[in-house]
Chains A and B, each alone.
Chain A
Amino acid sequence: MSGGALAGDTAGASAQTADGWRSRWGRLYLQSEGIRGWCLSAPALFVVIAALAVPIGLLVLFSFWTQDYVDIDTTLTLNNYQTIADRTIYLTVFARSVGISGLVTLLTVLLAYPLAYYVAFDVTRHKMVWLVLITLPFWTSYLLRVFAWKIILGYDGVINSGLAWLGVIDEPLSFLLYNPFAVILTLAHAWAAFAILPIYVSLEKIDRSLLEAATDLGDGPLRRFWRVTFPLSMPGVIAAAIVIFIPTVGDYVTPTLVGGPSGLMIANLIQTQFSKANDWPLGAALSIASMVTVTLIACLFVWFSKRATEKIA
């Protein structure tokens, strides 16, 4: 039924057809899972498209424009990407960010695994208490958790003043703060729960009879872990790695508070372009370049670790 015909009808008839249309639509709605599915997810999809897809499209467009003093030149060029490729500072900081985040991911997952294993397999009662204990510190302000490390590692900080008070040192140790090591330590602490929880969930899901079968078939504890438990926990390890790697590459708070000049990361460069340097197109190009780098590395990582798991199992 066309809209024109509907509009031309008398009031009563149009109410009737509207009713007919509504019930037909209602029947169709109930019959087709596809229509129901798309209708119910449409508002969420709309938000993601309007507040993420469109802005990122615009970000890409911006990255091909150039800043011309106060104006923006809208001719499409690759100048910004050329600048990023030419200046070593950008490449250095990119490599450093990826390196720092990679180490943070590795360290956090390695440290978290035994704890997740302990809670999943050894704790029988009060599992929930353990999980709440693990997550509790992460419900406090992220900013303050990072800042806590600044007051711990600082020149006049907790460690230095504590050691001086105890008479262990005469001069404060200056190597603690403002370097990549401080960034790695702080991030490994700040993101710990994001590694523990996914690994715990995948360990918890493992069917215990598989482990018994491995033991019955003569596998020792180590072999059983390597051949059965570890491959089956891989989904959790991969999830943990992705959930930590992606946000930490783009972290701004930690490098700014504890990184110092030698611990600067991508987010600091991006933020500078959007504030002091006021070169939004270059900032956009840096954002896009880092986003593409991060996504590529994450995809490669998932692909490789899946292949590796298949080989072991």
Chain B
Amino acid sequence: MSTIARQGRGYRASYAVLYLAFLYVPVLFLPLFSFNQSIYIAFPIEGWTFKWYGTLLENERLHEALGNSLEIAITSSVLATTLAIFAAKAYTRYRYRGQRLSLGVVMLPMVLPEIIVGVSLLILLNQIGLGLGTHSVIIGHTLICLPFAIAVLMSRMEGFDRNLEEASLDLGEGPVTTFFRVTLPLILPGVVASLLLTFTISFDEFIIAFFLSATDTTLPVFIWSQLRFPQRLPTVLALGACILVFSAILVVFSEWIRRRGHVKAGPGVWN
């Protein structure tokens, strides 16, 4: 390797480390100040405490919001992933007229500002008198999760040999049995990845829930309502630290699942 190339690599490595610091330092201030005794988020740190984590356990509105968020995130991730399994199969396994158009339509929610999705659903639900609440947030979140689920599952389905499905059909299994006994086990890591991704998108989504949740506050909407009160900020920081740890575990877990999927499918499938 030439000196120039090695130098370039050295610069890029130090740049990469600096960039990671830029990504992490602001986020890590949240857990840091969540252990601060003072309610003011400022240096110097007055002393260390766990008391703000204690307030998390007592706040009933927070528990309610957490419950709503979990209900919404689980429902929308399951709905979006289920719809996406079938749609992704249609887009990767077959070639037909109108396929690209159809794919373009289901991917649309990805390229629209979320506030547009929020206000347009607000108007529709208001006009047809369906009202607002958990159900309306689920509709909005399923919609915005759908393109992500389809993208994840399409890449998984493109990765395995379609001859396996055809072999099953040729050996006399019906399409339904083939799906459950051949396709589903092969795409399972993709399904899990899609569920985790869409769960996180929904759990974290703010603006659609802000417009559509009404009194069924979700966790982000609850956090938003707390940000205006300086005395409640330490509790929000403690909550943020918990979310941080929880998501880190989730990401590492999903990566582990994905790797196991690769190993299990074996070189015959992953050539």
Which residues of A are at the interface with B, using a C-beta cutoff of 8 A?
29-30, 32-34, 36-41, 43-45, 47-49, 51-56, 58-59, 62, 111, 114-115, 117-119, 122, 128, 130, 132-137, 139-145, 147-149, 151-152, 154, 156-158, 160-162, 165, 189, 192, 221, 242-243, 246-247, 249-253, 257, 267, 270-271, 274, 280, 283-284, 287, 290-291, 294, 298
A-B contact pairs, 9 of them (CB 8 A): A43-B87, A44-B83, A47-B146, A56-B116, A139-B200, A143-B220, A154-B41, A189-B26, A221-B4
If A55-B121, A162-B43, A291-B113 touch, does A38 touch B207 (CB 8 Å cutoff)?
Answer: no
Q: Are A34 and B175 in contact (CB under 8 A)?
A: no
Q: Number of B interface residues at 8 Å Cβ cutoff, please give it.
A: 87
Chain B residues with Cβ below 8 Å from A151 are 29, 33, 41, 233
Q: Nearest A residue to B40 by beta-carbon distance?
A: A156
Contact present for A139 and B106 (CB under 8 Å):
no
Asked whether B204 lies within 8 Å of A141 as measured between CB atoms, the reply is yes
- Chain A residues, Cβ within 8 Å of B207: 252-253, 267
Q: Top 6 closest A-B pairs, CB basis? A: A250-B113, A161-B42, A55-B120, A34-B96, A40-B90, A139-B247
Q: Are A158 and B113 in contact (CB under 8 A)?
A: no
Interface residues of B in 68-100 (CB under 8 A from A): 83-84, 86-87, 89-91, 93-99
The number of A-B residue pairs with CB atoms under 8 Å apart is: 239
Contact with A along B203-244 (1 / 0, CB 8 A): 010110011000000011001100100000100100010011
Contacts of A136 in B (CB 8 A): 247-248, 251
Contact yes or no, B139 A114, CB < 8 A: no
A41, B87: Cα distance in complex, Å: 4
Interface residues of A: mostly helix, strand, loop or mixed?
Answer: helix
* A118-B13, A161-B42 as given contacts; A291 in contact with B112, CB under 8 Å: yes
| B140 at the binding interface (Cβ < 8 Å) | yes
Contacts A122-B12, A250-B116: A45 and B106 contacting too (C-beta < 8 A)?
A: yes
CB-defined contacts of A56 to chain B, threshold 8 Å: 116, 120
Residues of A within 8 A of B8 (CB): 221
Are B175 and A30 in contact, CB atoms less than 8 angstroms apart?
yes
Cα distance A204–B250 in the bound complex, in angstroms: 26
Interface residues of B (CB under 8 A from A): 4-5, 8-9, 12-13, 15-16, 19-20, 22-24, 26-27, 29-30, 33, 40-44, 83-84, 86-87, 89-91, 93-99, 102, 105-106, 108-117, 119-124, 127, 139-140, 142-143, 146, 150, 175, 200, 204, 206-207, 210-211, 219-220, 223-224, 227, 233, 236, 240, 243-244, 247-248, 250-252, 255, 259
Residues of B contacting A: mostly: helix
A133–B23 alpha-carbon span in the complex (Å): 9
Pick the contact of B248: A45, A134, A139, A165 (CB < 8 A).
A139
Contact B23 A137 (CB under 8 A): yes
A132 touches B252 (CB 8 A): yes
Give the residues in chain B near A160, CB-CB below 8 Å.
42
A17–B94 CA distance with the chains assembled, in angstroms: 30
Measured between C-beta atoms, what is the minimum distance from B61 to chain A in Å? Answer: 16
- State A130–B86 Cα separation when bound (angstroms): 33
Q: How far is the CA of A290 from the CA of B50 in the complex (A)?
A: 46
Q: A34 and B97: CB pair below 8 A? A: yes
By a CB distance below 8 angstroms, the chain B residues around A37 are 90-91, 94, 96, 99, 102
How far, in angstroms, from A141 to B250 measured CA to CA in the complex?
Answer: 14
List B contacts of A55 (CB < 8 A): 117, 120-121, 123-124
Q: Are A137 and B86 within 8 A (Cβ)?
A: no
B204/A142 in contact, CB under 8 A = yes
Of chain B, the residue at the smallest CB distance from A35 is: B96
New A-B pairs, 19, CB < 8 Å, besides A40-B89, A55-B120, A114-B16: A32-B96, A33-B96, A37-B91, A44-B83, A45-B106, A47-B146, A51-B139, A52-B143, A55-B117, A114-B12, A118-B16, A122-B13, A139-B250, A139-B251, A141-B204, A151-B233, A160-B42, A287-B115, A298-B111
